[in-house]
């Protein structure tokens, strides 16, 4: 799946600098040229990747309507001086999610 997302980003003149796919969500640091809106790029990547997943993993020959693979929303933030901190967050997020899940077991 990572290669497909990388290719979609390249087609949109963007680059995924850092990424981590989890079973229920993804974290990505994407470099988007200023001439493109973030919403258009994210919409393109989410839409085309959903079509790719439907065809590759679910054997769909046509686009499907009324079903959703990705959630409707997303979180975005600009990165300046803290790019390394964002990269670290993405790399460590899976371990942090597991830690929080374990804490929730005791509630």
Catalytic annotation, pick one of 57, 58, 74, 89: 89
User: Which position has the token pair 């003149």?
Assistant: 13
CB 78 within 8 A of CB 30: no
Question: Active-site residue 89, yes or no?
Answer: yes
Burial class of residue 5, CB neighbours in 10 A (0-12, 13-18, 19+): buried
Distance set, CA 2 to CA 17, 24, 35, 50, 66 (Å): 12, 14, 25, 13, 25
Q: Which residues are catalytic?
A: 89
């Amino acid at each position: 799946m990572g290669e497909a997302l990388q290719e979609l980003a390249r087609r949109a003149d963007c680059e995924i600098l850092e990424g981590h796919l989890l079973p229920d969500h993804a974290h990505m640091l994407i470099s988007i040229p200023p001439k493109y809106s973030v919403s258009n790029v994210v919409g393109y990547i989410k839409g085309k990747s959903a079509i790719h997943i439907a065809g590759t993993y679910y054997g769909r020959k046509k686009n499907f309507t009324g079903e959703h693979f990705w959630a409707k929303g997303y979180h975005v933030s600009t990165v300046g001086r803290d790019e390394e901190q964002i990269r670290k967050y993405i790399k460590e997020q899976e371990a942090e999610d597991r830690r929080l899940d374990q804490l929730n077991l005791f509630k």
